[in-house]
Structure 1
Amino acid sequence: MNGNRVIELFEKWAMPSLAYDWDPIGLHIGTLNKVVTNVLVTLDVTPEVIGEAISKKCELIIAHHPPIFSKLKAVDTSTYLGAMIETCIKHNIAVYVAHTNLDIAIGGVNDMLADALQLQNKKILTETYNEPVMKLAVFTPLEQTKQVREALAEAGAGEIGDYEHVSYSIKGTGRFRPAEGANPFIGEIGKMEMVDEEKIEVVFPQSLKSRVLKAMFRSHPYEEVAYDLYTMAIQANEHGLGRIGSIEPTSLEDFANYVKTHLGVPFVRIAGDRSQTVERVAVLGGNGSKYIFDAKRAGADVLVSGDIDFHTAQDANANGLSIIDAGHHIESVMKKGTVEYMTKMMQQEKKRPVFHASELSTEPFEVI
């Protein structure tokens, strides 16, 4: 499969529009315009991970953490980053990054963490984006309605909740007269034409507007496509950082051990009364220091996250919120989760790459 197609399908899930403005997501190294047979999914890009990609014959790496966070003034191959860029280019390996958009995406990193902890009745912790819904109505000759409908669905239109390929249609009559200079698919220059047509209606998130319109124009037979497009008063799926849900009541100490086991980390740090009963749990991948008050307002007894600093832990405890700092590396759940999601998404594709979860740990800390 062409690399651009791989990422097109990936971005239907982890939409770039979900990412924070400061986040350098997207293509970091190489090109996507090539055949991709193997994809390596990793939390971080390191020389060892690149070596793994080479051994697995991967032409593409999908990473969560950006290897290039600040703008480069030069690619000095004697430096750590410059040497990695050189190795990737020499071995024709592209590096694509999905960071906060994959955190926020439905089914993304934070859902993966919540599911790993088996949180019940989970909800978004902090809303970041509520996307408008658009509706497209396009008028199509009867014999071409199937190809247009399928093209729109392939572009992501017509997805409502757990339902795909959702559309509505009604038959009618189209009337037009081709003028001089026209190249009509149906009809003759200067003669009034009546055509049996079908009006196809689909809805889609606003971020897919360009993709959906492109699919419509590409699949529609008319030289001039008649269509209506408008923003609706309803919203698409709510998106946000973190998740909050419930567990069976247990002590903070017992739950900390549960987190350690289920997130596969060598240690956790806790801040709070070990004997405290916890039932409402907030979880947020990465650095959760800025979200302690969001967790408290949402009714959490404890926040599971990483990179919680000394004073933030004190502030959380002073406000009745316990902390379990399981480290930033808990986001490594995205490796297996992304492989499973993309493998399932591509089941209908005739040609598709093999996705591999990196087998290497990029956790910089260890306990002695």
Structure 2
Amino acid sequence: MFARGETIVQLMERLAPKHYAVPDDKIGLQVGSVAKEVHKVLVSLDVTPAVVEEAAQLGAELIIAHHAVIYRPLAHLRTDTPAGALAASLLRKDIAVYISHTNLDTAEGGINDLMAEALELKGRDVLEEVHTDRLFKLVVFVPETHHEKVRSAVFAAGAGWIGNYSDCSFNIEGTGTFLPREGSKPFIGKQGKLTETKEIRLETIVPSSVRKKVISAMLKAHPYEEVAYDLYAMDLKGRSFGLGRVGTLPAPESLDQFAERVKTAFGVPFVRMVGDGAKPIRKVAVLGGAGAKYVRHALFAGADVLVTGDIDFHTAQDALAAGLSIIDPGHHAEKIMKPNVAKWLAEQLKSKGYETEVFASTIDTEPFKLR
């Protein structure tokens, strides 16, 4: 059994929900259709003619990429232009393209977490907040016989977290009353007779991101035909998601030593460095892609160094004057997403019984060469 494209997209949006993206980011399905069975998926950083040919040779019907294939508005779709020719090639080969960009940067387990993990950063926090999970209070009334079943189900679905504490709930015993009318099929009691039964009022916290999943799990585990429950919006801040990460190295090291760590972690032949090579480095800010505008965020976070790409001359001067070192491994360091996203997606598909194969692109889309 092979997964349909819509199913694969749903899985990707579980890893990197679309609402995690920054405003106006070009994400989602950009070329082709996912209303079909997909036998093979190719995960790539970019979509270039070489990547399209790689997908065609593999027999992949879907490319999942980080960088948009259509980023700037197209005034026309002429096949004698690079953009038009690329789109025409994809359509001829019936290869769809789905983009997961800043939502994948922001997501837990996404590009910025992968980069932070590769650098072995501890105690990580978000560099710039993009989205905060709204919190809700779920209150559901459960017969004593099914209390543990319902509570376990909502916890397994993602409810009950307060900070680093899981399985948080409050439980009060009481008496529930109801009168089953004609057409009802009561789990307890009989039609036409007022029923009193011992119930437990179960209260727990539900983040907005898993609200539908938690309610579905609760209803499935609950024995009643009609479940009495309430969901209250709370004026409390939930978990924050955002761009970049800030964390600490296991032990201090010089900027020169750290530069070698960055080269190894991201598999790049060189880095550009701003700062004194002997400077001790402990607190690190990292942001995939182009991070010149995040220098002030790194300074505010107290970072000794910012690891990011596409740093320009004047930004480097300003950072140096402010006492912030910079390591620039290039925008292409985001290639770290290819094997990791491919592995995650393959595991998700396999766990659901699908035979769809997932491949990480082997094409090097780095445009810069050293001479």
- Name the TM-score class by shorter chain: 0.7 to 0.9
Q: Name the CA distance, whole Å, in 2 between partners of 1:18 and 1:107.
A: 13
State the partner residue of 1:301: 304
Q: Is the 8 A contact 1:3 1:34 kept in 2?
A: yes
Q: Is the 8 A contact 1:12 1:156 kept in 2?
A: no
Please list, as runs of the form range in 1=range in 2, the aligned pairs for 1:316-331 lying within 5 A after superposition.
316-331=319-334
1:95 aligns with 2:97: yes
1:63 aligns with 2:92: no
Q: Is the 8 A contact 2:138 2:230 kept in 1?
A: yes
**Aligned-residue offset at 1:58:** 1.8
- Paired AA for residue 36 in structure 1: V
Deviations 1:84-121 (A, max 9, x none): 22332333322111111111111211111111112233
Equivalent position SS for 2:245? strand
Q: Is the 8 A contact 1:171 1:198 kept in 2?
A: yes
Q: 1:32 and 1:163, CA in 2 relative to 1: closer, same or farther beyond 3 A?
A: farther
State the partner residue of 2:48: 46
1:337 aligns with 2:340: yes
1:350 aligns with 2:353: yes
Please list, as runs of the form range in 1=range in 2, the aligned pairs for 1:96-111 lying within 5 A after superposition.
96-111=98-113
**Aligned-residue offset at 1:227:** 2.6
The answer for unaligned runs of 5 or more in structure 1 is none
- Paired AA for residue 124 in structure 1: V
Q: Is the 8 A contact 2:180 2:186 kept in 1?
A: no
What is the aligned-residue RMSD (CA, Å)? 3.5
Q: 1:198 and 1:42, CA in 2 relative to 1: closer, same or farther beyond 3 A?
A: farther
State the partner residue of 2:207: 205
The answer for unaligned runs of 5 or more in structure 2 is none
Deviations 1:144-190 (A, max 9, x none): 9999889878876567789999988889876545668x676779987
- Paired AA for residue 227 in structure 1: Y
Q: Is the 8 A contact 2:22 2:130 kept in 1?
A: no
Q: Is the 8 A contact 1:17 1:207 kept in 2?
A: no
Please list, as runs of the form range in 1=range in 2, the aligned pairs for 1:1-368 lying within 5 A after superposition.
1-138=3-140, 175-177=177-179, 203-210=205-212, 226-247=228-249, 248-346=251-349, 348-351=351-354, 353-368=356-371
Task: Figure out how many residues of one structure are paired with residues of the other and give that number.
Answer: 367
- Paired AA for residue 37 in structure 1: H
Q: Name the CA distance, whole Å, in 2 between partners of 1:243 and 1:293.
A: 14
With the length of structure 1 as denominator, give the TM-score of the two structures: 0.83
Deviates more, 1:318-327 or 1:25-34: 25-34
**Aligned-residue offset at 1:290:** 0.7
Deviations 1:25-56 (A, max 9, x none): 11112222322232211111111111112222
- Paired AA for residue 246 in structure 1: T
Q: Is the 8 A contact 1:266 1:366 kept in 2?
A: no
Q: Name the CA distance, whole Å, in 2 between partners of 1:163 and 1:37.
A: 41
Deviations 1:314-341 (A, max 9, x none): 0000000111111100111011121233
Q: Is the 8 A contact 2:175 2:199 kept in 1?
A: yes
Q: Name the CA distance, whole Å, in 2 between partners of 1:172 and 1:183.
A: 23
Q: Name the CA distance, whole Å, in 2 between partners of 1:277 and 1:131.
A: 36
Equivalent position SS for 1:350? coil
Q: 1:168 and 1:348, CA in 2 relative to 1: closer, same or farther beyond 3 A?
A: farther
Deviations 1:52-102 (A, max 9, x none): 122222222111111112344443333322232233233332211111111
Q: 1:88 and 1:325, CA in 2 relative to 1: closer, same or farther beyond 3 A?
A: same
- Paired AA for residue 350 in structure 1: G
Deviates more, 1:99-108 or 1:241-250: 241-250
Q: 1:279 and 1:141, CA in 2 relative to 1: closer, same or farther beyond 3 A?
A: closer
- Paired AA for residue 331 in structure 1: E
Deviations 1:182-201 (A, max 9, x none): 67677998765678988776
With the length of structure 2 as denominator, give the TM-score of the two structures: 0.82
Deviates more, 1:260-269 or 1:165-174: 165-174
Q: Name the CA distance, whole Å, in 2 between partners of 1:76 and 1:52.
A: 23
- Paired AA for residue 230 in structure 2: D
- Paired AA for residue 95 in structure 1: V
Q: 1:364 and 1:258, CA in 2 relative to 1: closer, same or farther beyond 3 A?
A: same
- Paired AA for residue 319 in structure 1: A
Q: 1:158 and 1:75, CA in 2 relative to 1: closer, same or farther beyond 3 A?
A: farther
